[in-house]
Amino acid sequence: MGINWLKQKSRFLTWLLLLAGGYSSVLYIHFSLTGTHLLDGVIGVILGIYVCAHPAANVLDFILYGKALLLEKITIRPMIIWWLLNSMAMFMGLLVFVLGLLRYSDFN
C-alpha cells in the first residue's frame, strides 16, 4: 500500500465517475436508456450501489491500513486528490442511485 495503490485506486475512481456521469447524461439528454422506466431504474440503482461501494471500501482500507501510507511519507497532494475523488464518486453514486429510484418509481 503506497503511492502506486493511490494511483491505481484514483484511476479506477475516475472511470467510475465517467460511468456514472455517462449514465446521468444519457438520462438527461435522451430521457431513457433502454426505453422502459423500470429497466432504467433497475440499472440506475445497481450502478449507484456499485459506484458507492468502491469509495466506501477505499475509506475502510484507509482506516484499516492507513498507517502504512503514513509510514511511507506520501505527500499531502496525492492524499487530497484521492479523498476528493472518493467524495465525488460517492456523490455521483448517490445521484445515480436516486435517479434510478425515481425512474423505477415512475414506471406506471
Instruction: Render pLDDT for 2-56 as a digit per residue (tens, 0 to 9).
Output: 677 778 888 999 999 999 999 999 988 888 888 888 898 899 999 999 999 999 9
Alpha carbon distance 39, 29 (integer Å): 17
- In degrees and rounded to multiples of 5, residue 44 shows phi and psi of -65, -40
Alpha carbon distance 5, 61 (integer Å): 11
Q: How confident is the model at residue 94 (pLDDT cuts 50, 70, 90)?
A: very high
> Between residues 62 and 107, which one has the greater pLDDT?
62
Task: Give the pLDDT of residue 64.
Answer: 85
Instruction: Render pLDDT for 65-91 as a digit per residue (tens, 0 to 9).
Output: 776 666 677 777 888 888 899 999 999
In the predicted model, what is the mean pLDDT of residues 94-108?
A: 86
